[in-house]
């Protein structure tokens, strides 16, 4: 399952920044289909008793909110297909420029974004599912995605050090950017701590004595919540600049 999400993330990231309009439209449809799969799995969990078995728990509510947001985004992606088809495309260099992110930075950015959008609901599903082969598969995929995100973060830092990109427009944007980077580091690390607190070795190390299960779980959940807030602020700022302030170039710096 981890490999499937890695291939999906790479395909969407490459397609959304492709020069050919067919590739961009196909990637946009693929993103809508992926969100539909996520939303449908959540709606099914409502109907088959998976959520009802949890009683008074906040996770099903959050998952249903995610499904609702996914539905809105799907509609927007479909409505924007004609504009995607008509839009002219400028050439993009492989490496960053002061006014534009390069293809390498864009690929790393969008692969990380897709993987995190998969990891967050998957982590909530793992928490509500009863012990089973299905839960074990979701947990393994969640852990694999977390390690991939950590590796991608290291690659992004190295790439930006070698080729600095556009400067964030204001202090709030810079603060949000660094908050997201720190959380992308802290979340996988806390996930390793959570896995180790169960007694299983993590990268050959036994962490159970240093970290209790409750502390590790609480830290991971807190960091996931903070990431969701920072991510929502990031997306909200992009939407505000693009649709309200009509600053089209802000999105164009990271998306064809």
Q: pLDDT digits over 134-160, tens only?
A: 888 999 999 999 999 999 999 999 998
Report the distance separating Cα 85 and Cα 87, nearest Å. Answer: 6
Domain-wise residue ranges, the chain: 2-252
Rounded mean pLDDT, 175-181: 93
Residues 6+ apart with CB under 8 A from 238: 250, 251
pLDDT at residue 108 is higher than 90: yes
Residue 245 scores a pLDDT above 90: no
- Could you report the per-residue pLDDT of 39-79, keeping only the tens digit for each? 999 999 888 888 877 665 788 889 999 999 999 999 999 99
Sign of the C-alpha dihedral computed for residues 4, 182, 156 and 253 taken in this order:
positive
Tell me the C-alpha distance between 243 and 233, whole Å. 15
Using alpha carbons only, give the angle 199, 205, 211 rounded to the nearest 5 degrees: 50
């Amino acid at each position: 399952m981890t490999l499937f999400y890695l291939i999906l993330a790479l395909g969407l990231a490459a397609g959304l920044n492709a020069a050919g309009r067919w590739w961009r439209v196909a990637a946009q449809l693929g993103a809508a289909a992926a969100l539909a799969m996520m939303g449908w799995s959540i709606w099914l969990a409502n109907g088959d008793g998976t959520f009802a078995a949890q009683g008074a728990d906040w996770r099903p509510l959050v998952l249903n909110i995610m499904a609702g947001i996914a539905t809105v985004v799907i509609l927007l992606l479909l409505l924007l297909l004609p504009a995607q088809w008509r839009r002219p495309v400028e050439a993009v260099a492989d490496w960053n420029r002061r006014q534009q992110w390069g293809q390498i930075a864009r690929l790393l950015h969008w692969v990380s974004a897709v993987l995190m959008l998969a990891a967050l609901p998957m982590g909530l599903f793992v928490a509500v599912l009863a012990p089973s082969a299905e839960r074990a598969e979701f947990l393994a995929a969640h852990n694999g995605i977390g390690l991939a995100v950590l590796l991608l973060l290291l690659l992004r830092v190295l790439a930006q050090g070698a080729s600095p990109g556009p400067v964030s427009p204001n202090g709030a944007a810079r603060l949000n950017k660094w908050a997201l980077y720190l959380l992308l580091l802290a979340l996988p690390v806390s996930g390793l701590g959570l896995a180790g607190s169960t007694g299983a070795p993590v990268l050959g190390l036994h962490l159970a004595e240093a970290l209790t299960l409750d502390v590790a779980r609480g830290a991971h959940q807190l960091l996931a919540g903070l990431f969701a807030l920072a991510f929502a602020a990031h997306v909200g700022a992009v939407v505000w600049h693009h649709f309200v302030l009509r600053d089209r170039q802000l999105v164009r710096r990271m998306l064809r």
